[in-house]
Chains A and B, each alone.
Chain A
Amino acid sequence: MSLTTSSNRIGQPVRRKEDLRLITGQGRYSDDVNLPHQVRAIMLRSPHAHARIRSIDTRKALTMPGVLAVLTATEMLADGLQPMPHKPQSNSPAEPQLINRDGFVEFDAPHYPLAVGKARYAGEAIAVVIAQTIDQAKDAAEQVEIDYEVLPVVTATAAAAQCDAPRLWDGPSNVTLDADVGDKAATEAAFARAAHIAKFETWIQRVTGVPMEPRAAVCEYDAATRRYTLHAGSGGAVRLKQDLALMLDVPEQYVRVLMNDVGGNFGTRGMIYPEFALVAWAARRVGRPVKWLCDRSEAFLSDYQARDLAVTAELALDKDGNFLAMRGSNISNQGSHPTNYGPLKKGVEIMSSLYRVPAAHFRARAVVSNTMITRPYRSAGRPEVMYVMERLIDIAAREFGFDRVELRRLNLLKSAELPYTNPFGMLYDSGDYPAAMESVLKRSDWSNFPARRAEAKTRGKLRGIGVANYVDTATGVPRERAEITVNSNGTVDVVLGIVSNGQGHETSFAQLVHEWLGVPLDSVRLITGDTDIVKVGGGTHSGRGMRMGSVVIWNSANEIITKGKRIAARLMECDPSVIRFEQGRFLAAGSDRSASLFEVAAATTQLIDLPEDLHGPLTAFSDEIFNEASFPYGCHVCEVEIDPTLGTLEIIKYSAVDDVGRAVNPMIIHGQVHGGIVQGVGQALMEQCYYDPASGQPLTGSFMDYAMPRADNFPFFDTEISEVPCTTHPLGMRPAGEGGTTPALGVVINAVVDALSEYGVKHIEMPATPERIWQAIRSAQK
């Protein structure tokens, strides 16, 4: 094999190794795991969004056929099962902290896996029923008698923050965090001298991630070793193990987590779920493996939901259009329990996006409400604020007579200004922001848009075009570890704490190993889903997989080569300094002697006189802490056509330029961008988790009502990868997984509003449904 002619190197669009297996039914997902003698669990969930639980009578249920146990909060507390180990304020050193205002009163809101005393959202688990079969468990669940005292509810974000809103917890209000970011005095001063102030108030509606594979978990408890073994999909096995050990209150080594294929994450699978701890606990109690499978309806109730941010924002400009400052307020709806301020923080710290904004001040609040818990979801927090900023710019352009592209050109940070500290304290390292915008404007044929609009008009259609820049802060769990072992049988094992949830890791990580160790792509085996092997690792989220994985794999590969040279020197009886490593072989200078990497690996167990640190197998690891954030960026343009008779909309063209620093597998990155765009456009046009405001009942409980975008809602995407090396990453890489989503909300709404500009329509809230568009046109005509 010659590496120089290899089409599997870094930068090549290598076909995904895993796809044949996955598309021919050979994948092994959580529900594919069945253990001998397993029994089934079903969750009995609250039908009320807010209710005191006066009593639970399980006596009749316990007599039903096949029933092994009916477990409630009483048994849970007696057995010492711990609350969910949420870390709402988990901080990255690269990000400012959200510190509560003086005098703010915090209160406890522990999230137990079964509701204790009170249900706070419709669908919260009240009891677990364990039976031989699912149907028996469901039959028994219907016989559990629960006496509820129904309480008033609040579901809407801004309403939940009001002091007279129904309270979920024993605190002074539903507000769980109230912080200020930025410089208030400087911001007020800048607003005082502004020539123009653009204002925008919006709600970035709640959506849900909808992974294709529903959640499932099966756990066995071995009484002899007192060990729990949980099979359940997640973004990372190690964190799930740690969190499960905390909930079970046992040392980590008493828990093993296993996962194979995981069918989608998007953040939805980013954190342990109550059900995972419940099956583990139940397995110990009943002495049998316990399995739970979430059906789709249950997923709509109980999967972590996302977004849900109420924003008021203002942008101050001078008479020439230079941005002077921005200010406003963001309120994050946490759902029933405050579990993660990440999206709130990750949004508010980059409200100013890629633009030169000298001063800014925002108030950041989190509230609880009678809704399912929200957590990070693809590009957590950033799509929300990029949407706000890009809408503000369009609003300012229209209101104050600027060209929207020129206004962006004027204020976009130039390469020479980088590194740049934004007004919230975030340090953007590198990039060429104007180049991304100019490139996509060209790809989208922006300048000839007027002709296309005129042509559409002749057909009675309204054309609109929008542009949106974005920056995306990638941080995530900072520690990652790789361990590479070269086996004498011609395989290379890579142990990594990052689980593929569909991103194609088996291919892209293998490309790295192929590049650096010169071994065939197919020789590389990725081991990520067994915590008895994988001891360290943060999992797949916040654009950290390739960003961190590449570095620890690179370090390990280099260590393998260093060790290998010393071993090869023994084999070839020369000095290590004259050996070079090329295309998978160790070559001795000045001779024709050489040894392959695998021969060297075999030698580690064959040579008896090796120094101790070279004793086989040939292995090396790297364990690193990544304290710096990474800032992928780019620019998207979307062109839409609206039929004014019904307000229906068609996306005519969607162009994207996304900078990833250095592309490992451009095909996979294009795929990531495509999927990302779809998730963003889904939010802009279709998706919403609806709750009935009076009862708190979720109204989107199935695909009959939750509007998922589908292939026929989209044109073919025009995506381009830009590669300006990232200066804070040793290999120049920036994450690529979230960029598709981040600007999509803003660019679509900008295009929709542009299409309606002749009617004087100033804004359409998301999702911009045909009815909303039609109503806007109608109101304008009145």
Chain B
Amino acid sequence: MYDFAYLKPASLSDAANQLASPDSKLLAGGMSLIPSLKLRLNRYATLVDLGALADLKGIRREGDALVIGAMTPHAEVAASDEVLTVLPALASLAEGIGDPLVRNRGTLGGSIANADPAADYPAAVVGLGASVITNRRTITADDFFKGVFETALQPDEIITAVRFPIPKRAAYAKYRQPASRFALVGVFAVQSANGVRVAVTGAAPSVFRLAAAEAALIKRFAVAALDGITLDTEGLNSDIHASAEYRAHAVVEMTKRAVAAALK
């Protein structure tokens, strides 16, 4: 690990100010950042730890939405009565991230800010059409994820919470890569008053919506509606764990499983 300055600001504005200096990086749970530092894959002059900002933690109901603080660890989401009652798909997604250590340290905000192509939370954020709330603005899910480890966040912008609209039904189906157990393909399927959304993680450089499936499911939210749907391999990931061809097939199959689970 290279040397860095460590700051733990007491307020959001302090954190933003410190983040404005060059080569600084936010530290949330550190479940991706710390290993990358230990391996010397990344180097920062300053780490700005959000751990002291209690306001960024917690889960609350706001009308027809759940608002989850950016610093809320996965384990808290997984065990929350509120989430289990109104958005069980999100609780089960959180329960399936990493191992107990990761779930107790890793955070919602950290996960989506990192935008790992195989992370689970981006599928929920896009699938549910959530809003990412920052210290400056609100960004819609469809505008948030831009590419591999790339988001719409400005250098000194800090996610404070994510607002998840409560859907009619939803489910997350995850096909784990055998080594890392990250999502080789993860599909979050949602039916809500506003329609149907299907978000896919793991299969491409960034989370994406499966338009063909959404169109079919809007007509009829049923597994059979997905018959005949295929996905072009163009732009899909291909690596030692799965070819683009297999991923394309797995996306459709996992969509079926997500829809089936949502209907249960």
Contacts and interface: CB of A to CB of B under 8 A. Distances in A.
A716 interface: no
A250 interface: no
B178 A686 contact: yes
The prevalent SS among residues of B at the interface is: loop
B179 A707 contact: yes
B179 to A, nearest CB: 4
B179 A771 contact: no
B39 A703 contact: no
Contacts of B241: 705
B1 A774 contact: no
B175 A646 contact: yes
A135 interface: yes
A700 B240 contact: yes
A708 interface: yes
Given A135-B1, A138-B40, A705-B180, A699 B240 contact: yes
Nearest to B247: A771
Chain A contact patch, size range: 20 to 34
A297 B180 contact: no
B246 A705 contact: no
B21 interface: no
Nearest to A690: B240
B146 interface: no
Contact of A646 (B39, B178, B240, B253): B253
A415 interface: no
B240 A297 contact: no
Nearest to A686: B178
A135 B1 CA distance: 7
A774 B246 contact: yes
Interface string A632-646: 000000000000011
Which of B179, B241, B253 has most chain A Cβ within 10 Å?
Answer: B179
A224 interface: no
Contacts of B246: 770-771, 774-775
A507 B248 CA distance: 53
B240 A705 contact: yes
Contacts of A192: none
Contact of A703 (B40, B179, B242, B253): B179
A706 interface: yes
A704 B253 contact: no
Contacts of A708: 179
Contacts of A645: 253
Interface string B229-245: 00000000000111100
Contacts of A705: 179-180, 240-241
Nearest to A772: B246
The prevalent SS among residues of A at the interface is: loop
Interface residues of B, number: 18
A135 B37 CA distance: 12
A706 B180 CA distance: 8
A708 B178 CA distance: 8
B87 interface: no
Given A135-B1, A774-B249, A704 B243 contact: no
Contacts of B3: 135
A301 to B, nearest CB: 13
Nearest to A647: B246
B115 interface: no
Contacts of A700: 179, 240
A740 to B, nearest CB: 21
A699 B39 CA distance: 16
Contacts of A646: 175, 249-250, 253
Contacts of B242: 771
Contacts of A703: 179-180
Contact of A704 (B40, B175, B180): B180
B256 to A, nearest CB: 8
A113 B250 CA distance: 46
Contacts of B250: 646
Interface in B16-41: 39-40
A705 B118 CA distance: 13
B46 to A, nearest CB: 18
A471 B158 CA distance: 63
B114 to A, nearest CB: 15
Interface string B157-184: 0000000000000000001001110100
Interface in B249-264: 249-250, 253
Interface in B179-201: 179-180, 182
Contacts of A707: 178-179
B179 A706 contact: yes
Which of A700, A704, A769 has most chain B Cβ within 10 Å?
Answer: A704
Interface string A686-715: 101010000000011001111110000000
Contacts of A690: 240
Nearest to A699: B240
Contacts of B179: 686, 700, 703-708
Contacts of A688: 240
Interface string B109-135: 000000000000000000000000000
A707 B240 CA distance: 11
A688 B3 CA distance: 36
A139 B43 CA distance: 12
Given A297-B39, A686-B179, A769-B178, 20 more contacts: A138-B40, A139-B2, A645-B253, A646-B175, A646-B249, A646-B250, A646-B253, A700-B240, A703-B179, A703-B180, A704-B179, A704-B180, A704-B182, A705-B240, A706-B179, A707-B179, A708-B179, A771-B242, A771-B246, A774-B249
Interface of A: 135, 138-139, 297, 645-646, 686, 688, 690, 699-700, 703-708, 769-771, 774-775
14 contacts: A135-B1, A297-B39, A645-B253, A686-B178, A688-B240, A699-B240, A700-B179, A700-B240, A705-B179, A705-B180, A707-B179, A708-B179, A771-B242, A771-B246
